[in-house]
Amino acid sequence: MPANLSARLCSLALSLFLIVFALPAFAGPFEDAVSKFANDDFSDTEEAIGAVASSGNPLAYPIISALQDGRLMADPDSKKVYVTSADGKSIDAATGQPVASVPDSASAVRLNNRLRRSVDAAVGGLTLMSPDLGMRLQAAQSVFKSHEETALDAVEGALAKETNRSVKATLGDARAAILLYKPDATEVQKLEAVATIKARGDQEALALLTGIGSDQPASVTKAAASAIGSIQSSLAVWSMVQNAWYGLSLGSVLLLAAIGLAITFGVMGVINMAHGEMVMIGAYTTFVVQEVIRTRYPGLFDYSLLIAVPLAFLVAGALGVVIERSIIRFLYGRPLETLLATWGLSLVLQQAVRTMFGPTNREVGNPSWMSGAFELGQITITYNRLWILCFTLAVFAILLAMLRYTALGLEMRAVTQNRRMAASMGIATSRVDALTFGLGSGIAGIAGVALSQIDNVSPNLGQSYIIDSFMVVVFGGVGNLWGTLVGAFTLGIANKFLEPVAGAVLGKIAILVLIILFIQKRPRGLFALKGRAVEA
Amino acid sequence: MLTKSTHDIAASFSRRGVLAATAGLMLGLASLTGAKAADDTIKVGVLHSLSGTMAISETTLKDTILFLIDEQNKKGGVNGKKLEAVVVDPASNWPLFAEKARELITKDKVAVVFGCWTSVSRKSVLPVFKELNSILFYPVQYEGEESERNVFYTGAAPNQQAIPAVDYLMKEEKVKRWVLAGTDYVYPRTTNKILEAYLKSKGVAQEDIMINYTPFGHSDWQTIVADIKKFGSAGKKTAVVSTINGDANVPFYKELGNQGIKAKDIPVVAFSVGEEELAGIDTKPLLGHLAAWNYFQSIKSPENEKFIKAWQAYTKNPKRVTNDPMEAHVIGFDMWVKAVEKVKSTDPDKVIDALPGIEAKNLTGGTSKMLPNHHITKPVFIGEIKANGQFDVVWKTPGLVAGDAWSKELEGSKDLVGDWVGKKCGNFNTKTNKCLGSGS
């Protein structure tokens, strides 16, 4: 049809005109590449990423970054691709023209891990010159990670213009990584690269140096080998520090779980097998608090744990008082029966929670200040573990202060030391018993709030901590809070130093055997109570 | 396949407590059902833990069977008779599984039993099913190395899950270095033995394989995740193949997310993490980690959409997820119904002989077939975890994979086959032409 033909000629002329002005709008290589995103085929998507990233088109960055965040929509029918943004505006990816709406048949372009790596590398290459400092740093890091040869010019260009020190250092590392893996780089360049990477001294540097292969000049291989040796020996020292940190962190979890038991079992002498369930109830309280916050006040989510702590204390504490009043007080002095009764109680509580909340795990989210990690030297410290350690120590200090400086604390100590004497001094011992048990249970509830951040929130949560808690209290010395503290950290650190050597299973067994042997030697634990309480 | 911590004192107490409680409950139930039992119903036993540690996984399967029975009865039942479910609670207690199985078969006279999750529970009921000659449908992926006349395995054998997953990582992600991480019990140990042999046959060196076992319910993953990170920094692409037990997965993935191990750096492919397990985790940091299954809820097929709709209506929960073992029960139940209709009887011998060769639609758009070794054909899918707790299928096998009862990778079992049609033997040695004793 002549009309059609003339239209085509016209568009051809127009597109030629536009290409001259470097503004491709009609069917050109760029548009072809973009339309490949609509094929829903991973290898096509990969080609498209490469073509778009190297096109130099101003739309390249919006497209690739949209792909990274799942905002790139493709319509398989019309082969049209759209860039959407959070504020609801969308543009046609091929032309950059705004579109009123994205058709319903369009879906987000899918990625797999291999493509995610290509996307990261592409974004890195495109944002090396970004005015935003954080973005530049991230870009330099992702180029360092991918160290693709094609990025060399961009890195060198950026390096010449960069003024920020840390970005510049990372760019230097990225350049070294690229050169190290570039087959036609000179020996001098490679030796320099090895030295630069050696200076990083971290695991990524080690990975780069180990992976260079054997087809390198002899001097490079030798330099790399010596660099690997020195990095490894410095990392070995760091790994000791790391083990110590992990041990502290595990110890804090053990202490948190055991601290309530140190009150009910240690101070009161009640073998409370339902202790773990108090922890579980604290965790479920956190879940309920978060659910309410999610549906009603989403802005408060970061404070959910702070709100959950007092609530969990009250819920678990109140339940503890009820348990003491209704069951335990009839069983004082009969440890075997207490054990069986509280064990039965723990099953009842578990099944009750299972009926109310269902048998599956419940999701308790991490607030933003408890997610992620930071690097300290060559070790990674995760925020949730760090906060739990601080939290545990705070709870311990508060509890200690309470026992020492409050009237209730004084009464508790009096009752445990000599019940009859305390009673004749006018202390309502049964009220003190109920409150002490409530305090222990409430602290277990608080532990549940923290443990919900690192463990399953399921009806079985408590069971996994009950054995460990008894172990800590018995090892540390019954009736002594400081013993519980030292016991928990000793077990935690010992466990973490054994684990890399013996494996997790054998490590746990070894700890158990050591405790048994220790108890043979010192039946009253690390810090034995002396005085009348022992005979009571 | 999954087993939970039962070695502690705690569990042994729980066992007794629950045993007493459920025994009482069951007595009441039995007298109830006994009174109204009549010849016009066919009884179907459901042997899944509803309390104790395994309730987390098994309760859903009980509901699945009740749902399937309900649907079948709406269609008029089987052979003109209505189906009637007999539900018992073995309370995550392995010896109790055997007792409850015996009770179902002798007292309630069920025609078939759908049940078990852990391998140890299956092993504990095996002698009962053999002695009393009844039928068990077992719906969970397991370590293989078994083919019994009275058991039909509708879950995946290792060659229907583990091996294809490793193949995917090798081809698509170019993985050269492997961490095999698992919980310390029979399923991970056997699967890892098979995988190790398979990887070595593909030319992977011993120093590029790291095997790690952890106790049940392990919750402190800091050291192991750091070890994985270290192992992964040897300049070769590294992946983790995880046979970590359901409950320990949440802290494992949380630690991975917190220590910043992204799927694009070190992907983790899991064999026991499904939609139900992910319900307890914030999945945003896990984007891109993988799971290998024979079914995903997100798979688009008319059968699946219909099933999910009916299931969510039945459970009155529009958010209720579906998972792989549920689909296995759907297929197994359908096969059993077809076999019973074919022989017009629920006589175990007739049904057992009729089952091999029976075909049933699976929910992913194919047709599964019961094989002579009592395993079924299944498609294998690799899915990536998405931010909404579902999986996005990134790869699947071109066709259906036939389940191997005996692994071809292991020295001791590569010559064995299970054949209950021709040879009437569960472990027939093709080299010596002899049945090794598990005959009928």
Q: What is the pLDDT of residues B162-208, one digit of tens each?
A: 999 999 999 988 999 999 999 998 899 999 999 999 999 999 999 99
Whether the per-residue pLDDT at A533 is higher than 70: the answer is: no
- Smallest CA–CA distance, residue B229 to chain A, in Å, is 8
- Quick: pLDDT tens for A28-53: 788 888 888 888 888 888 888 988 88
B438 contacts B158 by C-beta, under 8 angstroms: no
Percentage of residues of chain B with pLDDT beyond 70: 90
- Helices A463-476 and A335-357, interaxial angle, to 10°? 150
Neighbour-count burial for A129-140, b at 16+ CB within 10 Å, e otherwise: eeeeeebbbbbb
Whether the per-residue pLDDT at B148 is higher than 90: the answer is: yes
* Domains B9-157+304-378 and B159-299+380-402 belong to one CATH topology: yes
How sure is the predictor about A10, in pLDDT bands with cuts at 50, 70 and 90? low
How sure is the predictor about A11, in pLDDT bands with cuts at 50, 70 and 90? low
Partner residues linked to B151 by β-bridges: B136
| Phi (first) and psi of residue A281, to 5 degrees | -65, -35
Neighbour-count burial for A68-103, b at 16+ CB within 10 Å, e otherwise: eeebbbbbeeeebbbbbeeeeebbbbbbeeebeebe
Distance CA A299, CA A480 (A): 42
Residues 506-525 of A with CB under 8 A from B: 508
Distance CA B343, CA B349 (A): 10
Give the per-residue pLDDT at A52: 87
Which of A204, A210, A466 has the CB atom closest to B10's CB atom?
A466
Give the per-residue pLDDT at B297: 95
- Quick: pLDDT tens for B370-423: 999 999 999 999 999 988 889 999 999 989 999 999 999 998 888 999 999 988
> Mean of the pLDDT values across residues A284-302?
92
Residues 328-347 of A with CB under 8 A from B: 343-344, 347
Whether the per-residue pLDDT at A128 is higher than 70: the answer is: yes
Find chain A residues with C-beta within 8 A of B279's C-beta.
360-363
Strand B136-138 to B112-115 pairing: parallel
- Smallest CA–CA distance, residue B302 to chain A, in Å, is 18
User: What are the structure tokens assigned to B38, written together?
Assistant: 């009549």
Which of A42, A457, A460 has the CB atom closest to B53's CB atom?
A460
How sure is the predictor about B290, in pLDDT bands with cuts at 50, 70 and 90? very high
- Smallest CA–CA distance, residue B103 to chain A, in Å, is 24
Burial bucket for residue B316 (CB in 10 Å: 0-12, 13-18, 19+): exposed
- Quick: pLDDT tens for B350-381: 999 999 999 999 999 999 999 999 999 999 99
> Mean of the pLDDT values across residues A195-202?
87
> Mean of the pLDDT values across residues A393-401?
95
Percentage of residues of chain B with pLDDT beyond 90: 67
ipTM entry: 0.80
B16: left (phi over 0), alpha (psi -120 to 50) or beta: alpha
Q: How many CB atoms lie within 10 A of CB A245?
A: 21
Contact partners, residue A361, CB within 8 Å, separation at least 6? A456, A457, A458, B56, B250, B277, B279, B280, B281
Tell whether A110 lies on the interface with B, counting CB pairs under 8 A: yes
Whether the per-residue pLDDT at A26 is higher than 70: the answer is: no
- Quick: pLDDT tens for A210-221: 888 777 888 888
DSSP-derived secondary structure letter, B374:
S
- Quick: pLDDT tens for A349-376: 999 999 999 888 888 888 888 888 888 8
Distance CA A287, CA A281 (A): 10
DSSP-derived secondary structure letter, A109:
P
Query: Which residue, A104, A462, A529, is CA-closest to A278?
Result: A462
Contact criterion met (CB < 8 Å) for A460 and B247: yes
User: What are the structure tokens assigned to A257, written together?
Assistant: 């779980």
Find chain B residues with C-beta within 8 A of A457's C-beta.
280
Whether the per-residue pLDDT at A156 is higher than 80: the answer is: yes
Distance CA A459, CA A170 (A): 47
Q: What sign does the dihedral A295-A296-A297-A301 (CA atoms) show?
A: negative
B265 contacts A114 by C-beta, under 8 angstroms: no
Whether the per-residue pLDDT at A22 is higher than 90: the answer is: no
- Quick: pLDDT tens for B151-171: 999 999 999 999 999 999 999
Contact criterion met (CB < 8 Å) for A499 and B223: yes
Provide the mean pLDDT of chain B. 88
CA angle B369, B374, B376 (to 5 degrees): 30
How sure is the predictor about B221, in pLDDT bands with cuts at 50, 70 and 90? very high
- Helices B222-231 and B246-258, interaxial angle, to 10°? 60
Per-domain residue ranges for chain B? Answer: 9-157+304-378, 159-299+380-402
User: What are the structure tokens assigned to B357, written together?
Assistant: 């060769």
| Phi (first) and psi of residue A397, to 5 degrees | -65, -45
DSSP-derived secondary structure letter, B111:
S
Tell whether A505 lies on the interface with B, counting CB pairs under 8 A: yes
Give the per-residue pLDDT at A5: 52
Q: How many CB atoms lie within 10 A of CB A220?
A: 19
Contact criterion met (CB < 8 Å) for A466 and B276: no
The DSSP H or E segment spanning A80 is: strand A80-84
- Quick: pLDDT tens for B1-15: 544 443 444 444 444
Per-domain residue ranges for chain A? Answer: 18-114, 145-216, 238-535
Which of B215, B229, B279 has the CB atom closest to A363's CB atom?
B279
Give the per-residue pLDDT at A535: 46
Contact criterion met (CB < 8 Å) for B234 and A210: yes
DSSP-derived secondary structure letter, B8:
S
Neighbour-count burial for B342-351, b at 16+ CB within 10 Å, e otherwise: ebeebebeeb
How sure is the predictor about A133, in pLDDT bands with cuts at 50, 70 and 90? confident
How sure is the predictor about B16, in pLDDT bands with cuts at 50, 70 and 90? very low
Task: Name the CA radius of gyration of chain A, rounded.
Answer: 32
Distance CA A475, CA A309 (A): 28
Residues 65-94 of A with CB under 8 A from B: none
Q: Which of A280, A339, A355, A460 has the most B C-beta neighbours within 10 Å, making it the best mutation to test the interface with B?
A: A460
Distance CA B61, CA B164 (A): 26
Interface A-B: count of C-beta contacts within 8 A = 167
Q: What is the DSSP string of A240-303?
A: HHHHHHHHHHHHHHHHHHHHHHIIIIIIT----TTHHHHHHHHHHHHHHHHHHHHHH-GGGGGG
Tell whether A385 lies on the interface with B, counting CB pairs under 8 A: yes
- Smallest CA–CA distance, residue A10 to chain B, in Å, is 43
Find chain A residues with C-beta within 8 A of B9's C-beta.
467
- Smallest CA–CA distance, residue A383 to chain B, in Å, is 8
The DSSP H or E segment spanning B255 is: helix B246-258
Q: Which of A113, A204, A345 has the most B C-beta neighbours within 10 Å, making it the best mutation to test the interface with B?
A: A113
- Quick: pLDDT tens for A74-105: 888 888 888 888 787 888 888 888 888 888 88
What is the second-level CATH architecture of the domain B159-299+380-402? 3-Layer(aba) Sandwich (3.40)
Distance CA B241, CA B255 (A): 16
> Mean of the pLDDT values across residues B106-116?
96
Q: 3-state class of A431 per DSSP?
A: helix
Contact criterion met (CB < 8 Å) for A204 and B233: yes
Contact criterion met (CB < 8 Å) for A116 and B263: yes
Whether the per-residue pLDDT at A1 is higher than 80: the answer is: no
How sure is the predictor about A503, in pLDDT bands with cuts at 50, 70 and 90? confident
Find chain B residues with C-beta within 8 A of A505's C-beta.
184, 213-215
Q: Which amino acid is at A383?
A: Y
In order of B148, B257, B333, the CA distances from B137 in angstroms are 11, 37, 8
* The CATH number of the domain covering residues in A238-535: 1.10.3470
Distance CA B10, CA B8 (A): 5
Residues 412-471 of A with CB under 8 A from B: 454-460, 463-464, 466-467
Give the per-residue pLDDT at B6: 39
Contact criterion met (CB < 8 Å) for B247 and A508: no
Whether the per-residue pLDDT at A59 is higher than 60: the answer is: yes
Q: Which amino acid is at B350?
A: K
Query: Which residue, B202, B404, B173, is CA-closest to B290?
Result: B173
Which of B8, B258, B394 has the CB atom closest to A371's CB atom?
B258
Tell whether A200 lies on the interface with B, counting CB pairs under 8 A: no
Q: So what CATH class is B9-157+304-378?
A: alpha beta
Residues 8-67 of A with CB under 8 A from B: 42
Locate tokens 């504490």: which residue? A317
Query: Which residue, A314, A346, A313, is CA-closest to A328?
Result: A346
Q: Which of A360, A375, A376 has the most B C-beta neighbours within 10 Å, making it the best mutation to test the interface with B?
A: A360
- Smallest CA–CA distance, residue B35 to chain A, in Å, is 28
| Residue with the larger pLDDT of the pair B72 and B31 | B72
Give the per-residue pLDDT at A447: 95
How sure is the predictor about A520, in pLDDT bands with cuts at 50, 70 and 90? very high
Which of B60, B214, B232 has the CB atom closest to A504's CB atom?
B214
Find chain A residues with C-beta within 8 A of B5's C-beta.
463-464
- Smallest CA–CA distance, residue B190 to chain A, in Å, is 17
Q: How many residues does chain A have?
A: 536
How sure is the predictor about A21, in pLDDT bands with cuts at 50, 70 and 90? very low
Q: Which of B5, B7, B56, B282 has the most A C-beta neighbours within 10 Å, making it the best mutation to test the interface with A?
A: B56
